[in-house]
């Protein structure tokens, strides 16, 4: 018994698993077929009951016509009935009484003509038509109105009408029962029912197959997406999904995935370049320190030589530490782990603090730091981040400016927004390279390598900090004439 239960449970689990892994086209076809099957079944039922109702209505009208003929031939009305004599006499012309019908018990009723039967209030048959033979029509006592219902004679269906016979005082004296055969109508209804029952599964099966084919064709772009995604590797990130002909939801899906692949490829390339550049930048000072120390241990040297070499190694290690610190800062910015503390900041005061710190560096090259424009300007920013942005841009301006030149800092208002521009008279940036100045490890002059003391990370940090504060950074430059970096602050 336990084995049988386990077997049943296992089979049930397998069926459930197959259901959960059903393909999309099968699910679409199944759900659509179920919904359509319900609607078709509802339509078939409504049609059948409508036809049945019309058929019964026609037979009820036929019964009424027969009743009218009986009343007309008997010269009475249902509301002016005094005795059974007139009805009995009328029925006697075409009927035998119940006692006579009993004389031949083998005689059967003919079910292809109308039937008439007269009963009293207790249901006793007063008279009936000859074609009823030994059969009697069903009587339903206690009814005060004309009723219609189905019954059978000799296994054939008939439609009966039972009419109460009333006196002028409204007292029921008996009932007139009239019946008409329904054999042909029943055959028609049965045929209609058979057609519906046999056509229903055929329609549903055909609909499922067609829906599955249509669904398969409709989701073909999804199959292309799956096939492309399965083939996608780091080696072929440039591959893209073919766009469908129709600009529908699947077209949008393919376009969105292609856009996502573009971003992934761009991010992968940037990370690849970043890894290579970071490796190169870190390897250079390590190689220098290693070479210097190897030279020191080859033979004994004077104390002064040891001190000079150690100082040189410390300088390289400090430079490497600054690089690592900037890389960690960029990593925190990229992961959005730093949330700026936005507040109102006096831009002239922030510029004054930065220029004061960089004044000694500028004096070494005899560079003048000139601040012009608005003496009072308040912006919304993170003061610490703004300080870092201004220091990076200004230090770059000093670094790449020739000796005895001027670095101009301008604060002005344009279209209700505060703009700060820092202009140098340095080497400039070629127009074709302007788009890359905010990339990590980018240097305009690659031949300089690290000779200027920078790593190519300062402007990347500036761009990321500005984005966090919704500050727009732009650059304009002419080679050998100078460069202008502009900061546009959001309106307060």
Q: Above 90 in pLDDT, residue 430? A: no
Please enumerate in sequence order all residues whose Cβ is within 8 A of that of 110, keeping only pairs 6 or more positions apart, or say none.
Answer: 131, 133
Provide, for the chain, the percentages of residues in helix, strand and coil under a 3-state DSSP scheme, each rounded to the nearest 5.
55, 15, 25
The Cβ of residue 99 has, within 10 Å, a number of other Cβ atoms equal to: 8
pLDDT tier for residue 411 given thresholds of 50, 70 and 90: very high
- The token pair at 258 is 């292609």
Half-sphere exposure at residue 239, Cβ-oriented, CA atoms within 13 angstroms = 13
**Can you read off the two tokens belonging to residue 119?**
């009963």
Which is more confidently placed, 319 or 349? 349
pLDDT at 434 over 70: yes
Q: What are phi and psi of 438, to 5 degrees?
A: -95, 5
Give the pTM: 0.47
Phi, psi of 148 (to 5 degrees): -130, 140
Q: Is 137 exposed, middle or buried (0-12, 13-18, 19+ CB in 10 A)?
A: buried
Q: What is the 3-state secondary structure (H, E, C) of 84-118?
A: CHHHHHHHHCCECCHHHHCCCCCCCCCCCCCEEEE
pLDDT tens readout for residues 149-195: 998 888 888 899 999 988 888 888 889 999 988 888 888 888 888 88
| Token digits of residue 364 | 């070494």
Which helix (H) or strand (E) segment is 490 a member of?
A: none
The neighbouring-strand residues paired with 315 are none
Look up tokens 């892994």; give the residue. Answer: 21
For 273-296, write each residue's pLDDT tens digit. 666 656 666 676 777 788 888 888
pLDDT at 392: 83
Q: Distances from the Cα of 80 to the Cαs of 115, 142, 230, in angstroms?
A: 23, 20, 92
Residue 147 pLDDT level (bands cut at 50, 70, 90): very high
State the pLDDT at residue 38: 92
With H, G, I as helix, E, B as strand and everything else as coil, classify residue 49: helix
Tokens matching residue 170: 């409204």
Q: For residue 102, what pLDDT band results from cuts at 50, 70 and 90?
A: very low
pLDDT in the model for residue 448:
40
Which residues, in sequence order, are bridge partners of residue 483?
Answer: 477
Confidence bin at 447 (pLDDT 50/70/90)? very low
Place of tokens 């300007």: 377
Crossing angle of helices 303-334 and 458-468, in 10° steps, is: 30
Run of H or E residues at 83: none
Q: Given this model, what pLDDT does residue 408 score?
A: 93
Domains and CATH numbers, the chain: 76-184 (3.30.450), 249-333 (1.10.287.130), 338-488 (3.30.565.10)
Predicted local distance difference test score (pLDDT) of residue 486: 93
Q: Which of 21, 26, 24, 18 is nearest to 208 (CA)?
A: 26
How far from the centroid of its chain's Cα atoms is residue 268's Cα? Answer: 29
Higher pLDDT, 238 or 114: 114
pLDDT of 12 reads: 60
CA–CA separation, 453 vs 455, rounded Å?
7
3-state secondary structure of 340: coil
Per-residue confidence (pLDDT) for residue 406, from 0 to 100:
92
Q: Which residue has the higher pLDDT, 323 or 48?
A: 48
pLDDT at residue 424 in the model:
92
From CA 394, how far away is CA 351, in angstroms rounded?
10
Name, of 98-102, 299-303, 397-401, 440-444, the range with top average pLDDT: 397-401
Provide CB contacts within 8 A for 26, sequence distance 6+: 212
pLDDT number for residue 443: 56
Q: How far is CA 412 from the centre of its chain?
A: 48
pLDDT exceeds 80 at position 470? yes
- Range among 14-23, 77-86, 360-369 rated most confident: 360-369
The mean of the pLDDT values for the chain is: 78
Residue 305 clears pLDDT 70, i.e. is over it: yes
Whether residue 110 is predicted with pLDDT greater than 70 in this model: the reply is no
CA-based R_g, the chain, Å: 51
Say what the pLDDT of residue 433 is.
74
How confident is the model at residue 98, as a pLDDT?
Answer: 39
pLDDT digits (tens, 9 = 90+) for 70-89: 777 766 666 556 556 556 65
- 171-180, 254-263, 347-356, range with the lowest pLDDT: 254-263
């Amino acid at each position: 018994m336990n084995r049988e239960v386990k077997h049943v449970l296992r089979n049930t689990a397998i069926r459930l698993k197959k259901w959960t892994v059903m393909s999309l086209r099968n699910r679409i076809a199944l759900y659509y077929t179920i919904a359509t099957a319900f609607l078709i079944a509802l339509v078939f039922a409504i049609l059948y009951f409508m036809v049945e109702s019309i058929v019964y209505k026609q037979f009820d009208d036929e019964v009424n016509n027969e009743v009218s003929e009986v009343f007309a031939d008997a010269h009475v009305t249902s509301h002016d009935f005094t005795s059974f004599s007139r009805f009995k006499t009328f029925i006697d012309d075409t009927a035998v009484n119940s006692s006579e019908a009993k004389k031949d018990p083998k005689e059967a009723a003919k079910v292809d003509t109308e039937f008439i039967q007269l009963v009293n209030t207790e249901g006793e048959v007063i008279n009936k038509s000859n074609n009823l033979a030994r059969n009697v029509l069903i009587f339903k006592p206690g009814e005060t109105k004309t009723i219609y219902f189905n019954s059978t004679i000799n296994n054939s269906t008939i439609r009966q009408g039972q009419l109460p016979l009333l006196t002028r005082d409204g007292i029921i004296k008996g009932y007139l029962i009239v019946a008409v055969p329904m054999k042909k109508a029943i055959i028609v209804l049965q045929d209609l029912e058979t057609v519906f029952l046999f056509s229903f599964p055929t329609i549903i099966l055909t609909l499922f197959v067609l829906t599955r084919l249509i669904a398969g064709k409709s989701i073909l772009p999804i199959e292309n997406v799956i096939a492309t995604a399965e083939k996608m590797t780091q080696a072929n990130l440039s591959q893209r999904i073919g766009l469908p002909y129709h600009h529908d939801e699947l077209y949008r899906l393919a376009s969105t995935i292609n856009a996502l692949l573009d971003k992934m490829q761009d991010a992968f390339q940037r990370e690849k370049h970043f890894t290579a550049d970071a490796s190169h930048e870190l390897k250079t000072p390590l190689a220098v320190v290693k070479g210097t120390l190897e030279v020191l241990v080859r033979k004994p040297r004077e104390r002064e030589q040891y001190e000079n070499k150690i100082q040189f190694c410390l300088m390289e290690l400090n430079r490497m530490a600054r690089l690592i610190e900037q890389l960690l800062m960029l990593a925190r910015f990229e992961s959005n782990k730093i949330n700026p503390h936005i507040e109102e900041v006096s831009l002239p005061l922030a510029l004054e603090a930065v220029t004061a710190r960089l004044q000694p560096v500028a004096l070494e090259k005899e560079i003048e730091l000139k601040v012009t424009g608005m003496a009072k300007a308040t912006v919304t920013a993170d003061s610490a981040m703004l300080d870092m942005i201004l220091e990076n841009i200004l230090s770059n301006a000093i670094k790449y400016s020739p000796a005895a030149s001027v670095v101009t800092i301008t604060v002005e208002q344009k279209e209700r927004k505060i703009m700060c521009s820092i202009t140098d008279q340095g080497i400039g940036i070629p127009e074709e390279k302007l788009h890359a100045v905010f990339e990590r490890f980018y240097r305009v002059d690659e031949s300089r390598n690290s000779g200027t003391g920078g790593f190519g990370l300062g402007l990347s940090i500036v761009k990321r900090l500005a984005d966090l504060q919704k500050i727009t950074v732009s650059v304009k430059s002419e080679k050998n004439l100078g460069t202008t970096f502009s900061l546009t602050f959001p309106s307060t």
